């Protein structure tokens, strides 16, 4: 599986933002699903810059939320949606109807899953799915062992995810479960970008692209997708 290596995280972010802008030019009403987490933040800033300078048009597209910690929402510092709203949705001045996100505080979580599944289906699948990779190989909150054929679902978090997830919060925070896009949505997405930066991601990127394709290492699913890109910086390629 080919991996494209950029000199640094900033070049990767600029390239990815331009790629999204180009997609929006050919398909202005595209359905995009972009990960939160630390890795894509520079891409969000680059995309906002393109939009603010008239080089990306986000007026007609729709953003679908990738995942969320159960019990958290956009107003909770550290949640997935908190960062997406702060770094992308608000600076882009999106209209509410351009954002489709799980309500991870809802009583009916299965209903939330079906809501997002139905929405994605109604749009003919995701035009672009941009994901990072977890330190245990997870994609979104699809933890090791999750069937590749799952659509949206509620998950019990892996211990590593609970630990690593602390970095998003200002104070120690109990994380137990999440709600997430399933890997079947990745399979059905028209295009997928897996991005990673930093030396800490080198081993998991290697396993994702060179290891066996297995549900025990969710990111390995990327090898099966006909239009997947793995874009990393020098450090993550090391
Ligand atoms: P990160 O998260 O970008 O904050 O490293 C990646 C992930 O857990 O998918």
Point out the residues that are catalytic. 67, 136, 138, 143
Spatial CB neighbours of 86, under 8 Å, sequence gap ≥ 6? none
Asked if residue 132 has its Cβ within 6 Å of ligand 1, the reply is yes
pLDDT in tens, 186-211: 999 999 999 999 999 999 999 999 99
pLDDT in tens, 98-147: 999 999 999 999 999 999 999 999 999 999 999 999 999 999 999 999 99
Q: What whole-number distance in Å separates Cα of residue 238 and Cα of residue 160?
A: 22
Q: What whole-number distance in Å separates Cα of residue 163 and Cα of residue 148?
A: 24
**For ligand 1, mutation pick of 9, 13, 33, 35 (most atoms within 8 Å of CB):** 35
Q: What is the pLDDT of residue 102?
A: 97
Question: CB burial class (10 A; 0-12, 13-18, 19+) of residue 112?
Answer: buried
**Statement: residue 238 has pLDDT above 90:** yes
**Statement: residue 1 has pLDDT above 90:** no
Ligand 1 atom closest to the Cα of residue 161 is 8
pLDDT in tens, 153-163: 999 999 999 99
Burial 143-167 (b: 16+ CB within 10 A, else e): bbebebebbbbbbebbeebbebbee
SS3 call for 111: helix
The predicted model gives 214-226 an average pLDDT of 98
Q: What whole-number distance in Å separates Cα of residue 205 and Cα of residue 210?
A: 8
């Amino acid at each position: 599986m080919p991996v494209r290596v950029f000199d640094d995280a900033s070049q990767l972010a600029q390239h990815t933002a331009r790629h999204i802008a180009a997609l929006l030019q050919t398909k202005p009403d595209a359905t995009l699903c972009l990960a939160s987490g630390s890795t894509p933040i520079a891409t969000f800033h680059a995309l906002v810059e393109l939009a603010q300078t008239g080089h990306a048009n986000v007026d007609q597209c729709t953003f679908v939320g990738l995942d969320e910690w159960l019990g958290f929402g956009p107003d909770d510092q550290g949640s997935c949606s908190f960062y997406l709203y702060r770094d992308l949705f608000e600076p882009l001045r999106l209209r509410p109807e351009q954002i489709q996100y799980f309500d991870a505080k809802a009583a009916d979580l299965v209903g939330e899953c079906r809501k997002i599944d139905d929405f994605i289906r109604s749009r003919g699948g995701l035009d672009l799915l941009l994901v990072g990779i977890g330190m245990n190989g997870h994609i979104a909150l699809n933890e090791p062992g999750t069937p590749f054929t799952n659509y949206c679902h509620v998950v019990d978090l892996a211990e590593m995810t609970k630990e690593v997830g602390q970095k998003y919060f200002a104070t120690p925070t109990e994380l137990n479960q999440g709600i997430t896009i399933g890997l079947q949505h990745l399979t059905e997405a028209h295009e997928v970008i897996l991005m990673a930066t930093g030396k800490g991601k080198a081993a998991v990127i290697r396993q994702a692209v060179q290891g066996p394709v297995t549900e025990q290492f969710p990111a390995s699913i990327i090898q099966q997708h006909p239009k997947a890109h793995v874009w990393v910086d020098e450090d993550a390629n090391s």
